[in-house]
């Protein structure tokens, strides 16, 4: 027997359909609004999209020309490198193409690099710098990265590498396809920033503390990741350099990273010994360099990076 | 398939649309297949286990009905209970008890005992569907219900997807007849189902997920060493998180069921307005607390055998309730705290005993006294939830040890403010629901008003939900 609708309940059915229509309208409206806000108001989206578009067009330099260098990393590099100054200090030797996205790690950039290479980008050197804990983290950034750095194939690859279940995979794919789904937390952050006093300070406390794994696990994970990155760059004719930005209380982790890189046959660049930098060069979060620290770091990077390319060996002030 | 993920709605909408085009027989078969797909989407490895467990209890129930004399019926009942709890025990508690045994031997100086510790993955929803199967077998044995003759009907009763992973635990006498009878489309209930889903999503994605940020930061140590303010912040944040999370889940489950013409029992009734812990358990996870009452507490003797035995029965019931939540000593302590407080409450505030050996709620009390008791009960609950949330007993004790330190940091004010932003609206909604005895806010208002409310709820959802999908707390159980 087929089920039926009683005639007295048509009011409810009408409003149920109206509600479904409102849902559909709001979904479309939020998608359009998110697209508009992203393209017109998001500094992060504007910066990363521009940097990505420039990086896609990188081609190898001819003999005697400046070497194209792609520098990718998270906020540690964003705050630590004065890009214009670095370009000025290294002009003639290198063409610098940075892409910096905050709160990203190994998997974000592994797949971003894969996509860049696939789309024709051919830097001769890839400088990779995300901090040791982010390099070892088993996560990707859930907003911006799926939209700007990955395509659908990469999203599936990320999901497979991170052993995501089907629901999380579907979520990542949707974040790649929908501006609203990708950036919906940005709305919340903006509202809370204007509602909750000192929200920025609070947010820094709400982020989980990075955990660096014990030595054996560190070595195994770091080696396999370094090897995979090196192989990817090598396949497309690029030399990989791991750039280790300074962070307080990370000396031990940095040393272990340098050793792991050496074992994987990857050059490591530690332009500034973290022990040599006092806290006055850091921002109040004690994680990112302040403008003075950035001046020091950029100068050191401009000094050591060309030497690394010349000598093709590890260069470190240590 | 998480209820708060887009994938769930990509699944639910076509299922609902197709379902109402089928006749009753086809509806049940279609829903059973959809439910197995839903379960398999989560983890296909355990689908066979659930189908096997369902088949086993279906066949045993047939045996119980057809068996003579009565002693043989009892044997089949015992066989079913042993099998069900063995499966649950192996998958949920084996490593816990083996590990605890090994730990005890280590303390006695016996080292390197070759215990068969195996990494067992917990099958999703096993605690929930096992309890439903047990309830079915016991009810068939006691003659409260007739055994289902159709495997499809029984299979659907066990695995109907809205309640499959985390309840509400459905009673056979309530849900099975709904499965067996024709279901007609009721537009009122369909609309109410949509409203329950919207408000459930708000509870989960807006209240619970935002409170979780604070609770995770406190319990994860991001705010620094524990002190009085952090204990308050962490336990309050987690209390609102787990309430928003599970009541939101239950609302979405009930709403989804209503879209399909089923009615699920109410699982939460404003629990934080309970003046005492015994009242709290009449309002919190009602489907579990009534299951424990009917299938454990009353068979143990309930409250009809004097104070001492009542306290014993309460303690056993609550410890097992704690253990049901997870294989960890933290849950045992959580249950034990509730068992002790419930016994103490009964001593100081004796209740009348009902005909079934259960307590009957007392008369109303004064306004100030009522709110004083509510605040006290909320704080006792919060402190007990420190054990529920902590990853180990040591972590819980370390957190609570901070209660004697009062060092203040300016960031705490922001954190408490954020907690208020997300918890107070839910608290006000609870006051509204308590006053009107509604299932969702403004449930009796005209449709136009409710539609506007739902649209507003969607906007709030879009603006305040985070970017990460957070699994429901009770999906672990």
CB contact under 8 A, A205 and B468: no
Contact A282, A289 (CB under 8 A): yes
B194 CB within 8 Å of a chain A CB:
yes
Residue B60, pLDDT > 90, answer: yes
Is B325 in the active site?
Answer: yes
CB contact under 8 A, A184 and B467: yes
The top-scoring range by mean pLDDT among A38-47, B12-21, B181-190, B287-296 is B12-21
pLDDT, tens digit, 9 for 90 and up, residues B156-209: 999 999 998 887 888 899 999 999 999 999 999 999 999 999 999 999 999 999
Question: How far is the alpha carbon of A198 from chain B, nearest alpha carbon, in Å?
Answer: 6
Q: How much is the pLDDT for A276?
A: 77
pLDDT, tens digit, 9 for 90 and up, residues A201-256: 888 888 777 677 777 788 888 889 999 999 999 999 999 999 888 776 566 777 88
pLDDT, tens digit, 9 for 90 and up, residues A110-141: 999 999 999 999 999 999 988 888 888 888 98
Q: How much is the pLDDT for A275?
A: 74
Q: How much is the pLDDT for A279?
A: 82
Q: How much is the pLDDT for B111?
A: 67
- Token readout for B57 is 């209890």
- How big is the CA angle at A166 (ends A162 and A171), to the nearest 5 degrees? 85
pLDDT > 70: percent of chain A: 92
For chain B, the domains span 21-183, 189-476
pLDDT > 90: percent of chain A: 37
Does the predicted TM-score (pTM) go above 0.90?
A: no
Instruction: Choose the closest CB to B222 out of A165, A168, A208.
Output: A208
Average pLDDT in the A85-92 region?
A: 87
Question: How far is the alpha carbon of A24 from chain B, nearest alpha carbon, in Å?
Answer: 11
Where does the pLDDT of residue A49 fall: very low under 50, low under 70, confident under 90, or very high at 90 and above? very high
Instruction: Choose the closest CB to B194 out of A16, A142, A196.
Output: A16
Residue B273, pLDDT > 90, answer: yes
CB contact under 8 A, B191 and A19: yes
Instruction: Choose the closest CB to B217 out of A20, A191, A206.
Output: A206
Q: How much is the pLDDT for A198?
A: 86
Among the listed residues B163, B285, B325, B338, the single catalytic one is B325
Q: Which of B236, B169, B76, B196 is nearest to B440 (CA)?
A: B196
Average pLDDT in the B392-400 region?
A: 92
- Name residues 242-261 of chain B within 8 A of A (Cβ): 261
pLDDT, tens digit, 9 for 90 and up, residues B8-31: 999 999 999 999 999 999 999 999
CB contact under 8 A, B23 and A170: no
Residue B466, pLDDT > 60, answer: yes
**What distance in Å separates the CA atoms of residue B382 and residue B462, rounded to the nearest whole number?**
29
CA dihedral A21, A23, A25, A28 (to 10 degrees): -140
| Structural domains in chain A plus CATH codes | 60-137+210-318 (3.40.50.1110)
Question: How far is the alpha carbon of B328 from chain A, nearest alpha carbon, in Å?
Answer: 23
Residue B241, pLDDT > 70, answer: yes
**What distance in Å separates the CA atoms of residue B129 and residue B92, rounded to the nearest whole number?**
13
**What distance in Å separates the CA atoms of residue B242 and residue B389, rounded to the nearest whole number?**
9
Contact B269, B283 (CB under 8 A): yes
Using CA coordinates, name the residue in chain A closest to B415: A202
pLDDT, tens digit, 9 for 90 and up, residues B136-146: 999 999 888 99
**What distance in Å separates the CA atoms of residue B22 and residue B14, rounded to the nearest whole number?**
13
Q: How much is the pLDDT for B304?
A: 78
Q: How much is the pLDDT for B103?
A: 74
| Strand boundaries in B238-323, DSSP class E | none
Average pLDDT in the A74-87 region?
A: 90
Question: How far is the alpha carbon of B411 from chain A, nearest alpha carbon, in Å?
Answer: 6
Using CA coordinates, name the residue in chain A closest to B9: A167
Q: How much is the pLDDT for B379?
A: 95
B443 CB within 8 Å of a chain A CB:
no
Instruction: Answer whether the bond into residue B87 is a cis peptide, omega within 30°.
Output: no
**What distance in Å separates the CA atoms of residue A12 and residue A72, rounded to the nearest whole number?**
55
CB contact under 8 A, B467 and A142: yes
Interface A-B, measured as beta-carbon pairs within 8 A, has a size of 154
Q: Which of A259, A261, A263, A286 is nearest to A274 (CA)?
A: A286
Instruction: Choose the closest CB to A15 out of B7, B413, B447.
Output: B447
- Token readout for B263 is 């009615």
B418 CB within 8 Å of a chain A CB:
yes
Contact A205, B222 (CB under 8 A): yes
**What interhelical angle do B329-348 and B393-401 show, nearest 10?**
60
Using CA coordinates, name the residue in chain B closest to A183: B467
Q: How much is the pLDDT for A2?
A: 37
**What distance in Å separates the CA atoms of residue B324 and residue B285, rounded to the nearest whole number?**
13
Question: How far is the alpha carbon of B164 from chain A, nearest alpha carbon, in Å?
Answer: 16
CB contact under 8 A, B459 and A201: no
What contacts A77, CB < 8 A, 6 or more positions away?
A71, A98, A100, A129, A130, A243, A245
Could you tell me whether strands B359-360 and B352-353 are parallel, antiparallel, or unpaired per DSSP bridges? antiparallel
Using the structure block, give the residue that is written with the tokens 């799926």.
A146
Q: How much is the pLDDT for B125?
A: 84
């Amino acid at each position: 027997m087929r089920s039926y609708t009683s005639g007295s309940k048509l009011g409810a059915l009408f409003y149920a359909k109206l509600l479904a229509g409102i849902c559909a309208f709001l979904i479309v409206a939020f998608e359009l609004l998110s697209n508009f806000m992203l393209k017109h108001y998001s500094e992060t989206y504007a910066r990363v999209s521009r940097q990505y578009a420039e990086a896609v067009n990188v081609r190898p330099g001819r003999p005697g020309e400046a070497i194209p260098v792609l520098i990718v990393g998270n906020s540690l590099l964003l705050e630590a490198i004065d890009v214009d100054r670095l370009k000025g200090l290294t002009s003639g030797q290198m063409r610098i193409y940075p892409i910096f996205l905050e709160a990203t790690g190994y998997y974000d950039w592994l797949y971003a690099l894969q996509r860049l290479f696939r789309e024709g980008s051919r830097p001769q050197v890839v400088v990779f710098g995300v901090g040791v804990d982010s390099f070892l983290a088993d996560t990707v950034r859930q907003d911006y990265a799926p939209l700007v750095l990955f395509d659908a194939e990469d999203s599936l690859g990320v999901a497979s590498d991170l052993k995501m279940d089907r629901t999380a995979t579907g979520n990542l794919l949707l974040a790649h396809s929908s501006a609203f789904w990708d950036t919906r937390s940005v709305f919340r952050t903006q509202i809370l920033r204007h509602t909750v006093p000192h929200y920025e300070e609070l947010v820094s406390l709400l982020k989980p503390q990075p955990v660096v794994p014990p030595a054996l696990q560190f070595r195994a994970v770091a080696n396999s990741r370094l090897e995979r990155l090196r192989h990817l760059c090598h396949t497309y004719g690029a030399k990989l350099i791991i750039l280790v930005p300074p962070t307080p209380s990370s000396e031990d982790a940095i040393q272990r990273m340098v050793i792991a890189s050496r074992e994987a046959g990857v050059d490591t660049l530690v332009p500034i010994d973290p022990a040599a930098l006092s806290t006055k060069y850091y921002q109040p979060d004690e994680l990112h360099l302040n403008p003075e620290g950035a001046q020091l770091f950029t100068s050191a990077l401009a000094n050591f990076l060309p030497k690394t390319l010349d000598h093709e060996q590890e260069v470190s002030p240590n | 398939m998480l209820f708060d993920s887009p994938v769930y709605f990509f699944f639910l909408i076509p299922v609902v649309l197709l379902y109402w085009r089928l006749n009753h027989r086809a509806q049940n078969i279609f829903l059973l297949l959809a439910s197995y797909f839903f379960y398999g989407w989560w983890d296909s490895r355990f689908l066979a286990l659930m189908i096997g467990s369902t088949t086993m209890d279906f066949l045993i129930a047939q045996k119980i009905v057809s068996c003579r004399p009565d002693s043989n019926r009892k044997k089949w009942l015992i066989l079913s209970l042993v099998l069900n709890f063995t499966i649950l025990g192996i998958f949920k508690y084996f490593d816990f008890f083996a590990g605890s045994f090994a730990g005890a031997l280590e303390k006695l100086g016996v080292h390197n005992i070759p215990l068969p510790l195996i990494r067992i993955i917990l099958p999703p929803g096993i605690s929930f569907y096992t309890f439903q199967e047990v309830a079915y077998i016991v009810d068939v044995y006691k003659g409260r219900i007739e055994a289902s003759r159709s495997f499809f009907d029984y299979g659907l009763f066990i695995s109907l997807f809205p309640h499959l992973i985390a309840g509400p635990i459905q009673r056979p006498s309530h849900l099975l007849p709904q499965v067996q009878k024709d279901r007609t489309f009721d537009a009122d209930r369909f609309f109410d189902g949509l409203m329950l889903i919207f408000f459930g999503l708000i509870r989960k994605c807006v209240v619970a997920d935002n409170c979780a940020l604070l609770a995770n930061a406190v319990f994860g140590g991001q705010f620094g060493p524990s002190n009085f303010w952090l204990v308050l912040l962490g336990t309050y944040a987690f209390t609102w998180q787990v309430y928003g999370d599970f009541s939101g889940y239950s609302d979405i489950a009930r709403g989804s069921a209503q879209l399909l013409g089923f009615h699920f029992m109410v699982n939460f009734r404003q629990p934080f307005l309970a003046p005492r812990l015994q009242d709290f358990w009449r309002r919190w996870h009602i489907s579990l607390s009534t299951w424990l009452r009917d299938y454990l507490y009353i068979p143990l003797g309930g409250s009809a055998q004097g104070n001492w035995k009542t306290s014993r029965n309460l303690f056993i019931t609550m410890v097992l309730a704690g253990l049901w939540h997870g294989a960890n000593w933290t849950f045992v302590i959580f249950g034990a705290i509730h068992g002790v407080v419930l016994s103490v409450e009964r001593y100081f505030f004796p209740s009348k005993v009902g005909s079934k050996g259960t307590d009957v709620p007392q008369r109303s009390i004064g306004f100030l006294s009522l709110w004083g008791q509510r605040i006290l009960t909320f704080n006792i609950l919060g402190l007990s939830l420190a054990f529920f949330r902590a990853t180990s007993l040591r972590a819980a004790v370390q957190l609570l040890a901070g209660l004697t330190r009062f060092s203040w940091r300016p960031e705490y004010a922001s954190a408490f403010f954020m907690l208020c932003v997300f918890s107070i609206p839910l608290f006000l909604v609870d006051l509204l629901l308590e006053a009107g005895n509604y299932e969702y806010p403004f449930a009796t208002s005209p449709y136009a008003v409710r539609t506007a409310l739902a649209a507003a709820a969607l906007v709030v959802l879009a603006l305040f939900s985070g970017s990460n999908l957070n699994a429901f707390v009770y999906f672990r159980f």
